[in-house]
């Protein structure tokens, strides 16, 4: 256990506590939210350290009393037996955590191989994440979407955020960061007349939502184009040039938004997605030595590159990264994702304790 790291984090906790007690900080809601999130991350550590310190003090007192009165020996033994679990808990909290865990996210879902069936499956994934968010009490907002002819989605960006400061610093990212990758579906498509099972795929990209202070964007490095919104089949759904396409020239990242009625609103939504993508790109560069799976969640939406399979005939959901399988696909699509997400979180916890933070992402 690093005593220096513990002392540094406890000092940070005390400083943050002072800042939050100052009414002046709440004049800037953005700053107050960031400070509050960091404070919430450190609350479990502060509590664990205080419990361990108290347990050690109680043990020392019990042993001192036992030296004079043997009846206290049993109490001392009980207290001594409790220490290892408290020490392990504190040691686990001292392991560096994902710096984005407290953040909200933008989930991008793109139809891939499989044509209209893939778009329908992308729509299923959109409903699955929306329903999961509802179960967690999170807020959802469709930033942009391109619908398909049969009611699916070709491409959709969904913002998911917590209400207020997430408890323990565990925001939406801490749960949904595992979802990035290719999701494969096996089922009889509605367009299949002979009842044959088809395989198609949709790509999911999960980005921690970036605040303006997280990413600096030079307006001179942006090319902004406007065009008319289009619906399924390409038909125009707007008589004005309200849709916006933003190109970040240094990176080549292109973001388009057309859901809102005004050009200004679409521009603001596109900038939200652009900031999230630039933050993810910066993190990717910082983790250049990490595994390929960590660097990029989705390279191509190809049926062979999959992290998870949804098999409708067997009502089965399988996560290939950790060998998780459950026969409750209907419930998962209804938003009951905690089974697979808990398994992924536990795999990550075990990997971090073993000193390999990449293990659960392979």
Q: For residue 195, is it left (φ>0), alpha (ψ between -120 and 50) or beta?
A: left
Burial class (CB in 10 A: 0-12, 13-18, 19+), 27: exposed
Q: How far apart are CA 92 and CA 1, in angstroms?
A: 9
Tokens 């001192």 appear where?
64
Pick the range with the lowest mean pLDDT from 31-35, 112-116, 180-184, 344-348. 112-116
- What per-residue confidence (pLDDT) applies to 318? 97
pLDDT at 295: 44
The pLDDT of residue 357 is 54
pTM: 0.77
**Per-residue pLDDT tens for 59-110?**
999 998 988 888 888 889 999 999 999 998 898 888 888 888 989 999 999 9
pLDDT higher than 90, residue 235 = no
Cα-Cα-Cα-Cα torsion 117, 121, 124, 129, nearest 10 degrees, comes to -160
Q: Range with the lowest mean pLDDT among 39-53, 63-77, 113-127, 183-197? A: 183-197
Report pLDDT digits (tens) over 26-57.
Answer: 888 888 888 888 898 899 999 999 999 999 99
Q: Which tokens is 166 given?
A: 């997430």
- Cα→Cα distances 343→16, 122, 258, Å: 33, 23, 37
Confidence label for 168 from pLDDT (cuts 50, 70 and 90)? confident
């Amino acid at each position: 256990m690093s005593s220096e790291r513990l002392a540094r984090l406890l000092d940070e906790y005390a400083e943050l506590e002072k800042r939050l007690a100052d009414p002046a900080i709440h004049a800037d809601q953005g700053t107050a939210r960031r400070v509050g999130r960091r404070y919430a991350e450190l609350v479990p550590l502060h509590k664990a350290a205080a419990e361990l310190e108290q347990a050690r003090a109680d043990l020392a007192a019990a042993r001192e009393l036992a030296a004079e009165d043997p009846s206290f020996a049993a109490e001392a033994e009980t207290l001594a037996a409790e220490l290892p679990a408290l020490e392990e808990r504190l040691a686990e909290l001292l392991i560096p955590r994902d710096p984005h865990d407290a953040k909200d996210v933008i989930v991008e879902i793109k139809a891939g191989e499989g044509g209209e069936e893939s778009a329908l499956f992308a729509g299923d994934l959109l409903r699955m994440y929306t329903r999961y968010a509802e179960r967690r009490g999170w807020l959802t907002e469709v930033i942009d979407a391109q619908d398909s002819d049969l009611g699916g989605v070709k491409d959709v960006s969904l913002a998911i955020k917590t209400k207020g400061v997430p408890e323990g610093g565990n925001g939406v990212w801490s749960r949904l960061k595992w979802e990035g990758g290719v999701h494969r579906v096996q089922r009889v498509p509605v367009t299949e007349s002979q009842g044959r099972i088809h395989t198609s795929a949709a790509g999911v990209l999960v980005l921690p939502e970036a605040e303006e202070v997280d990413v600096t964007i030079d307006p001179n490095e942006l090319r902004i184009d406007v065009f008319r919104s289009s619906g399924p089949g390409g038909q125009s759904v707007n008589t004005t040039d309200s849709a916006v396409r933003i190109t970040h020239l240094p990176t080549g990242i292109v973001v388009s938004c057309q859901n809102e009625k005004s050009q200004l609103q679409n521009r603001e939504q596109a900038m939200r997605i652009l900031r999230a993508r630039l933050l993810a790109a910066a993190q990717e560069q910082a983790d250049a030595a990490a595994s390929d799976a960590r660097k990029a969640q989705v390279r191509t939406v190809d049926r062979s590159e999959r992290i998870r399979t949804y098999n409708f005939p067997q009502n089965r959901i399988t996560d290939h990264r950790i060998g998780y399988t459950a026969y409750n696909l209907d419930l998962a699509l209804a938003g009951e994702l905690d089974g697979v997400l808990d398994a992924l979180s536990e795999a990550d916890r075990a990997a971090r304790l073993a000193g390999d933070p990449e293990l659960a992402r392979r």
